[in-house]
Amino acid sequence: MIGKLIVERLLARGDEVTTLQRSPSGLANREGVIEVLGSITNITTVEEAVAGQDGVIHLAAKVDIVGALDEFVAINVEGTTNLISAARASGVSRFVHTSTPSVAHGGASIVGSGADPADPDSTSGHYATTKAMAEKVALAASTPEMPIVAIRPHLVIGPGDTQLVERILDRARSGRLPIVGSGLALIDATWVDNAADALIAALDRAPELGGRALVVSNGEPRTVHELIARITEAAGVEWNPRKVPTKFAIAGGRLVEKIWEITNREDEPPMTGFAAEQFSTAHWFDQRETREALDWTPTVSLEEGWQRLAEHYQ
Amino acid sequence: MVTPGPLDAARLPPSGLHGLDLAWSRLETVEIDGVARTFHFLDTQTVEGEEFDLTLLCVHGNPSWSYLWRNLLATLPPGVRAIAVDHLDMGFSDRTGTTRNLAQRVDDLVALTDHLGLKGPVVTVAHDWGGPISLGWALRHLRQLTGVVLTNTAVHQPEGAAAPRIIRMTRSRGALRRSTVDTTAFITGAFEMSKPRTPKHIRAGFLAPYETKERREAIQHFVEDIPLEPDHPSAETLNAIAQGLEHLENIPALLLWGSKDPVFSDLYLHDLEDRLPHADVHRWANAGHFVGEDQDVASAVVDWISGLNKTSDAVTHSSQPTRLLERISNPEIAGKVAIAEMGNGGAEITFDELSARIETTAAALHRHGVSPGDRVAIMVPPGIDLAVIAYGCWRLGAIAVLVDGALTPPQMTAAVKSANPKYLIGINRALAASRTLRWPGERISLEPLSEAQNRVLDAEADLTSLSADSTVDEARPLPREADHAAVIFTSGSTGPSKGVVYTHGQIAAQRDIISDLYAITADDSLVAAFAPFALYGPMLGITSAVPDMDVSSPASITATTLADTVVRTNATLVFASPAALMSTIRTEDELSVAHRSALEGVRLLLSAGAPIRVDLFDRAQAIFPNAVAYTPYGMTEVLPVSTISLPEMHEAGSGNGVCVGKPVPGAEVQIRPISGAADFGEIIVRAPHARLAYDRLWHTTHAASQPPGWHATGDVGYLDDHGRLWMGGRLADVVKTTDGLLAPVRIEQIVESLGGVAMAAVVGVGPEDLQQLVVLVELDEPVKKPDLADLALIDSVRTAINSEMSLDIVAVLAIPKLPVDRRHNSKIDRARLREWASAVLSGAPMEKI
């Protein structure tokens, strides 16, 4: 979702773009686009993709809720080191690493924090842990010749998003989307266009920002209840949630995770401890430093975002 | 000089004790009675030979050490040095193996300061049993003594009062050694009493020098040295110190007190106040024994010593006789009704009768022992009795403590305890509360009590019998304008209710301003449906009628009860609270034709006590078709500050807050800038009718009186180009967003103008300067539980706010009922909402508001 928006923006301003992903992006026919297909775990493919590039925006990650740690490490950590070393070898002069705010936080609520250092020991779940490891590796590898900036967009929302929007809608439709706790924890979200703009801004300003991590959001915290209500409303899905006490949801989620792990199930569990925690504690950030560093502000407000989402689902 | 054996010698404290700067730590060896003793003490003179204008000599008590004074030492102004001593056998000073009594400890302290060559002005600062030691030192250094600060201490066991139970228990056989030496129970126990609980790292600092039994011996000795018995070896020393305080009459004194101290209770504060009647006093209603851990004692001391050299008393003390009661005794109105009650069988009293009863009451109270300057709590509903007693006190020169019937019982208890009246005159219900809740003040009932009643109420006397003797003392002098007349209480919508002291001159000035402002003449007649005004009518020389109402519930007034009162006295003025007016609007249909015609005779309608919404004021005014409607702006500390008529409210339109009109004649209003706020500041006022001081809250008075002579209202606002004042909310409720400071009222007004919203409150959640705006609404159809408001309402709130001020509202929550104060039923407790919303919006489980 976001990769496509970035490509469009880069093309619009006259950049030449090479894309690397596992399956065709649908952008290959566009003028100025070279498509490389393959995995970032394959060093040859990666070398091919980064050869002759001025800059790299690294968006690839395994974001699933379930799965073996090995796979997460291979894609999120080793994939990142592959990309960095190949980029450095081919003389790339700037590198943007896409990270996540969950690299720096366990289950505690976040109320107006900045970007604390990534800490794999305090994270919860394979995804956040391996992303924390990757960010540490990436920022440590930043040099004046190839400055590396980590951008952590929080809760990216946009039309066609399968990570969050579709999951929410699926569960709302089937009546499996309760409100955990009061549903009143404030959460920052990022409209996808703003995330794309921020990543490009980071690429442009990488020489000044090498080695830094910045959280990106719309800067309009909303209650979890409202976020879900807006998404379901935009999609025309009726949502009549039950309320589940927080402790119960977290404990239940952990139990479910355990069962999935023991039974090697690969389908998505109905609830995980991580998700229950995420949706019952505040996560909103101080955006002042980010906006100044990137010289960027969101152009699509959440209100406008909900309208776009509604248009998408019409 | 003998060097003592290898007992535990003085040493420097370990590093890492929270808040303690090791650069202050010093060891000095002094010869005492031929033996070398080493003191540990803190000294902010860290450069040899550095000169100072003033030295604070800080003396700790038991169980404690100089660590107690770390915050004070860290906040000293330039030119001031502080020396905080560890007594021998205490803190990090020598363990001497001796038992040191009070006299010895005074000698020890003198020996140390002699050794240090302490010269120049000194202020002693002490806590707990450091109090008598510091005073012993002070009495031997009167020439260099420039001030005395005492915190939770005592110099005397007041007659008839039992010694503190905790000390008696500690002293009981077996318990003493176990609690003081064998364990750290005495130290940790002392901190259990702090409110809120002292954090662990601070408690660790206090415990640091008392790790082993050997190091704790003196804690037991200190407790044993408390002269609970008259033949105790230290009794004589303590008595000499207590009696010596009369030599301090010209030495400024400051008493700082935590009133929740089970050992040094208010009893000892009042004993010290009697001995040092000139002392400045600050009593924290919610602080415990270690008052400096619970409240900002350091700032209070620093502000106090900074004012020591200034003769800044901006209040001019008039020695003119009081004018408060002059209009009541005016012979021209002698036969006119002064007060008419609607309840109580419709009783009434004429001005000459009232005048006579004031004299007999003053004489009766005086015969009973009430002296000028004594405080008398009056807990009587508005009406003839209240007027007779309050005016009788004023005639005598006693200070009326007017405890508001609309305070909650805990607030009343706090109010009476803080004011500490010597007498309490009340209706039986008040006397019962006084007895059960152990309020101070000798009880006096209104009527004679039966024996059975008095077993319950335990009153010493009744006013009817006291006043039966109608002889009056012709020569009784009138009190002076500068004498204290009354203590009244703030509504306490946030924090404890504060006592506010008024002088005779200030209340007279207030009466005159109201008289001029609303052009009151002898032909006017008042209905006082707002309790405080029941006392003003007779002082204005006009007839006052009091509706039959429950003072604790202004909404108990109805259109009929109000109109009946207007009919009775052909009233031309109606003073009511917004709550009473709301209730009148609701019950308007009950009015008869006769009522309506009487209401046509009302020329002025005053809504007082809380802000009123223009639309509701319009409706209330329509009930009084010929009345001009006014509402004053002001507070318990100064009323009125400004006044505005209903047409002027319409003309003002909308702005950043509520337009409260032009300052009243005689009142000066200024806006004090607040850093970060572009278009508003704090409203400050200077007026002849403004309060004298907060009661036993020296530091609060000091902070609210900058510049001297002014009253800082704690409200924010601005003056517009027409000289009109606009009020934007409480300073404490200003939201600190990334876009700057924001006063809440404007947003609340916008939200309240939306359909379906009864009342709105705006609070900020999140870290300072990054606060996010949250709107809390009470709906016309209240919700059952707090929750996110409907998306439609959220949208209309955001749209409305955005179109006027382009601000983001992160959440709109619907609340069953917004918390408001009991007295006015309208002041929203935003601090409580802020705390609640911050917790809920961070994901914490939903607590009750």
The pLDDT of residue B84: 98
- CA B250 to the chain's CA centroid: 27
CB contact under 8 A, A229 and B810: no
Claim to verify: residue B225 and residue B162 sit in the same structural domain: yes
Kindly indicate the confidence band of residue B172, based on its pLDDT and cuts at 50, 70 and 90.
Answer: confident
Domain boundary among B603, B636, B669: B636
Domain CATH for B204:
3.40.50.1820
User: What is d(CA B660, CA B724) in angstroms, rounded to the nearest whole number?
Assistant: 7
| Kind of pairing between the strands at B757-765 and A33-37 | unpaired
Claim to verify: residue B413 and residue B466 sit in the same structural domain: yes
The pLDDT of residue B2: 65
Kindly indicate the confidence band of residue B454, based on its pLDDT and cuts at 50, 70 and 90.
Answer: very high
The pLDDT of residue A190: 97
**Total length of chain B:** 849
Lowest model confidence (mean pLDDT) among B392-401, B428-437, B840-849? B840-849
Average pLDDT taken over every residue of chain B: 92
Report the candidate in B550, B533, B545, B548 with the shortest Cα–Cα distance to residue B572: B545
Claim to verify: residue B499 and residue B525 sit in the same structural domain: no
CB A261 within 8 A of CB A168: no
Residue B314 has pLDDT above 60, yes or no: no
Q: What percent of chain B is predicted at pLDDT more than 90?
A: 75
Q: What is the pLDDT of residues B229-247, one digit of tens each?
A: 888 889 999 999 999 999 9
Residue B542 has pLDDT above 60, yes or no: yes
Best of B773, B840, B848 to disrupt the A interface by mutation (most A CBs within 10 Å)? Answer: B840
Kindly indicate the confidence band of residue B820, based on its pLDDT and cuts at 50, 70 and 90.
Answer: confident
The pLDDT of residue B844: 87
Q: Taking residues B610-625, report their average pLDDT.
A: 91
Q: Taking residues B142-147, report their average pLDDT.
A: 96
CB contact under 8 A, A185 and B841: yes
Residue B195 vs residue B545, higher pLDDT: B545
End-to-end alpha carbon distance in chain B:
68
Q: What single-letter amino acid sits at B465? A: S
Q: Taking residues B548-559, report their average pLDDT.
A: 79
Kindly indicate the confidence band of residue B3, based on its pLDDT and cuts at 50, 70 and 90.
Answer: low
Structural domain of residue B59, as residue ranges?
1-13+27-305
A47 and chain B in contact, CB less than 8 A: no
Domain boundary among B448, B479, B503: B503
Q: What is the pLDDT of residues B181-192, one digit of tens each?
A: 888 888 887 777
Claim to verify: residue B526 and residue B424 sit in the same structural domain: no
User: Per the structure, how many domains does chain A have?
Assistant: 1
Residues from chain A that touch B838, judged by Cβ atoms under 8 A, are 111
CB contact under 8 A, A233 and B791: yes
User: Per the structure, how many domains does chain B have?
Assistant: 4
Claim to verify: residue B285 and residue B382 sit in the same structural domain: no
Residue B377 vs residue B170, higher pLDDT: B377
The pLDDT of residue B313: 53
Q: Taking residues B507-535, report their average pLDDT.
A: 92
Domain boundary among B618, B636, B654: B636
Claim to verify: residue B499 and residue B526 sit in the same structural domain: no
DSSP B157: -
The pLDDT of residue A247: 77
Q: What is the pLDDT of residues A54-106, one digit of tens each?
A: 999 999 988 877 778 899 999 999 999 999 999 999 999 999 999 999 898 77
Q: What single-letter amino acid sits at B702? A: H
The pLDDT of residue B623: 96
Claim to verify: residue B116 and residue B217 sit in the same structural domain: yes
The pLDDT of residue B317: 67
Q: What's the CA angle centered on B601, arms B600 and B602, to 5 degrees?
A: 95
Residue B467 exposure: Cα atoms within 13 Å on the Cβ side: 19
Q: What percent of chain B is predicted at pLDDT more than 70?
A: 96
ipTM above 0.90, yes or no: yes
Domain CATH for B470:
3.40.50.980
Q: Taking residues B467-492, report their average pLDDT.
A: 89
The pLDDT of residue A278: 74
H helices present in B629-707, as ranges? 646-652, 698-703
Could you tell me which residues of chain B have a Cβ less than 8 Å from any Cβ in chain A?
738, 765-767, 770, 772, 787-788, 791, 794, 798, 808, 810-811, 813, 838, 840-846
Claim to verify: residue B67 and residue B132 sit in the same structural domain: yes
CB B495 within 8 A of CB B694: no
Kindly indicate the confidence band of residue B643, based on its pLDDT and cuts at 50, 70 and 90.
Answer: very high
Q: Taking residues B462-479, report their average pLDDT.
A: 87
Structural domain of residue A196, as residue ranges?
2-312
Neighbours of B204 (CB within 10 A): 12
| Kind of pairing between the strands at A33-37 and A213-216 | unpaired
Report the candidate in B663, B680, B687 with the shortest Cα–Cα distance to residue B715: B680
The pLDDT of residue A1: 79
Kindly indicate the confidence band of residue B739, based on its pLDDT and cuts at 50, 70 and 90.
Answer: confident
Claim to verify: residue B141 and residue B281 sit in the same structural domain: yes
A297 and chain B in contact, CB less than 8 A: no
A222 and chain B in contact, CB less than 8 A: yes
Report the candidate in B740, B163, B697 with the shortest Cα–Cα distance to residue B418: B697
CB contact under 8 A, A186 and B738: no
Q: What is the pLDDT of residues B572-605, one digit of tens each?
A: 999 998 888 989 999 999 999 999 999 999 999 9
- Active-site annotation of A, residues: 127
The pLDDT of residue A59: 94
Residue A254 vs residue B775, higher pLDDT: B775
Domain CATH for A251:
3.40.50.720
Claim to verify: residue B541 and residue B489 sit in the same structural domain: no
CB B704 within 8 A of CB B632: no
User: What is d(CA B419, CA B415) in angstroms, rounded to the nearest whole number?
Assistant: 6
The pLDDT of residue B494: 64
In chain A, which stretches have pLDDT less than 70?
A: 270-271, 274
Claim to verify: residue B32 and residue B143 sit in the same structural domain: yes
The pLDDT of residue A111: 92
CB B423 within 8 A of CB B370: yes
Q: Is residue B314 part of a domain?
A: no
Claim to verify: residue B848 and residue B771 sit in the same structural domain: yes
CB-nearest to A223 from B767, B798, B811 is B811
Residue B173 has pLDDT above 70, yes or no: no
Global pTM value = 0.89
CB B86 within 8 A of CB B60: yes
Q: Which residue of B has its CA nearest to A244?
A: B845
The pLDDT of residue B6: 57
The pLDDT of residue A38: 93
